[in-house]
Structure 1
Amino acid sequence: MKGCAIVVLVATLAGMALTARLGVWQLSRAAQKEALQQALDERAKEPELPMAAIAHDDQAAQAQHYRRTHLRGEWVASATVFLDNRQMNGRPGFYVVTPLKLGGTGESVAVQRGWVPRDQLDRTRLPTLPTPAGEVVVAGHIAPPPSRLYEFSAAASGPIRQNLDLGAFSVETGLRLLPVSLVQEDAPGAASDGLLRQWPRPAVDVHKHYGYAFQWFALCVLMAGLYVWFQLVRPHVRARQGRA
């Protein structure tokens, strides 16, 4: 019996340690998103970043993330890609990414132009997007490259992709892509191009992490309570009843 009791104690302590650790991890995820949102809000208040000041290396790029800017250049429509399995307002679809060749520099920036819904009957059928020729001015904020999702197969090379690696995309297209992307925002008075730009805020789902943390901590407490009841209180009560 002593050996069995030790096994139960060790299993309970291990379960409590795991669930407590998972609860702490969820709290850290919430804190990270809140800090990211705060950084976004603070940098959004800074003066617009001039196009000529956009970073050319990864370290400098991190300091510019979320800064607002206007880019002037020409769309490289032939290099447009559709990032699959991206949601906006709970609907599945694609993020549309098109390189913008910056005027007078020979360099380009990958622009996250917006979101389009997926065709419910044929997921390979892509919408025709109005992409004006000639010089355009695109408003938005500097951001890291599009977030990566898990992909089961090798990286695709067609217009529909799961992820986009800027280095590989630069080699593929022959464009000198800078190590940032631009998240396009709606400009007042601009003509509609059919793209949705209700970009999610980093901390929009922070309450989800608090909820998960509560569940893990509650499970930890439940394990402790069950151990105390079945291993300590209940045997003691039975022993007292046997002596009565």
Structure 2
Amino acid sequence: MDYLVRTSRIPDLWRFLLITFAALVCAGITASLGFWQLGRAAQKQEIFDTMARQQALAPWGNAELASQVPAVSQILSDSKRKELLHRPAQLQGQWLPEQTVFLENRQMQGKVGFYVLTPFRLAAPHEGTVIIVQRGWAPRNFMDRMVLPPVHTPAGLLTIEGRLEAPPSKLMELEGENGGADPDGKKSRIRQNADIAQWAQQSSLPLLALSLVETSDGAASQGLLRDWPQINAGVQKHYGYAFQWFGLSVLVVLLYVWFQLVRRFYLPRRAAHPAAPR
């Protein structure tokens, strides 16, 4: 009889061990995912803080820009890029309107249109330096997609303000599309993407490796919209995910304790040995 009792308990023991193992694995995985989300939040917060510190720096002028930002033909290391990105600048020079490019399928305030890019040549003695300026957004003509929006480009020496950024993000394009400029003025200036290296090669302009996102407003906007996307840390989303994963981990532990410990051991023992009446 004792042998039969012991053998009948073996499946229950294995079931208990398997459930315990599964609960430990599930709780460990969900907890680790929660800590991973906290790590992602810390990384994004660090990036955001770095951007905020860069944007709070004193703006560079022509001399600093020409000496610090390498040409597109030179190698721009990751450390140097982090040092330069988001830095404010106030530049004096003149537009090269014949080299203006319109990047299509770009959105601003929920509308589809063009990003307008124009090279900006620095004033003397730095006239050998040219930077691509993301001037703003203009609506497109949906009746005729080849019609360009009117963009006023003032001539002569002027001052612009902005911040150093990477070139506009690339969209998917058909193979063989031209990503450079249009120096001869005979082809459409509408582009899906802008490749600064190719642009420099086609136009023979000494372009810098980074672009300038113009932030001038008022009359200096030339009718272009400059409601550029505001980058935020976005850590609240990761904190929410972390809370969910930690909550699931705690739920697994509580369910295990109740069903595998309390109901399995404590309640039967308490029922078998009721408290003596006083």
Q: TM-score, normalised by structure 1?
A: 0.76
Q: What's the CA shift for 1:228?
A: 1.0
User: 1:51 and 1:198 mapped to 2: Cα distance?
Assistant: 28
RMSD: 3.3
- Is the 2:62–2:91 contact (alpha carbons within 8 Å) kept by the matching residues of 1? yes
Secondary structure of 1:172's aligned partner = helix
| Alignment CA distance shift 1:64-1:214 (3 Å) | closer
User: How many pairs does the alignment contain?
Assistant: 234
Which residue identity does 1:179 align to in structure 2?
Answer: A
| Alignment CA distance shift 1:162-1:28 (3 Å) | farther
User: 1:34 and 1:169 mapped to 2: Cα distance?
Assistant: 33
Q: Which has the higher strand share?
A: 1
User: 1:107 and 1:81 mapped to 2: Cα distance?
Assistant: 22
Q: What's the CA shift for 1:111?
A: 0.8
Question: Is 1:169 equivalent to 2:207 in the alignment?
Answer: no
User: 2:37 and 2:115 mapped to 1: Cα distance?
Assistant: 31
Considering only CA atoms, is the larger Rg found in Structure 1 or Structure 2? 2
| Alignment CA distance shift 1:189-1:126 (3 Å) | closer
Q: TM-score, normalised by structure 2?
A: 0.68
Q: What's the CA shift for 1:144?
A: 2.5
Which residue identity does 1:236 align to in structure 2?
Answer: L
Which residue identity does 1:146 align to in structure 2?
Answer: P
1:220 aligned to which of 245, 251, 259 = 245
| Alignment CA distance shift 1:138-1:94 (3 Å) | farther
Q: What's the CA shift for 1:21?
A: 0.6
Q: Which residue of the partner structure matches residue 153 of structure 2?
A: 131
Which residue identity does 2:149 align to in structure 1?
Answer: P
Q: Which residue of the partner structure matches residue 98 of structure 1?
A: 118
Secondary structure of 1:42's aligned partner = coil
- Is the 2:88–2:162 contact (alpha carbons within 8 Å) kept by the matching residues of 1? yes
- Is the 2:104–2:114 contact (alpha carbons within 8 Å) kept by the matching residues of 1? yes
Q: Which runs of 5+ in 1 are unaligned?
A: none
Moved more, 33-42 or 101-110: 101-110
Q: Which runs of 5+ in 2 are unaligned?
A: 1-14, 71-75, 180-188, 272-278
Which residue identity does 1:241 align to in structure 2?
Answer: L
1:111 aligned to which of 125, 129, 133 = 133
2:223 aligned to which of 188, 194, 211 = 194
User: 2:249 and 2:222 mapped to 1: Cα distance?
Assistant: 57
Secondary structure of 2:56's aligned partner = helix
Q: What's the CA shift for 1:188?
A: 5.8
Q: Percent identity?
A: 23
User: 1:125 and 1:231 mapped to 2: Cα distance?
Assistant: 67
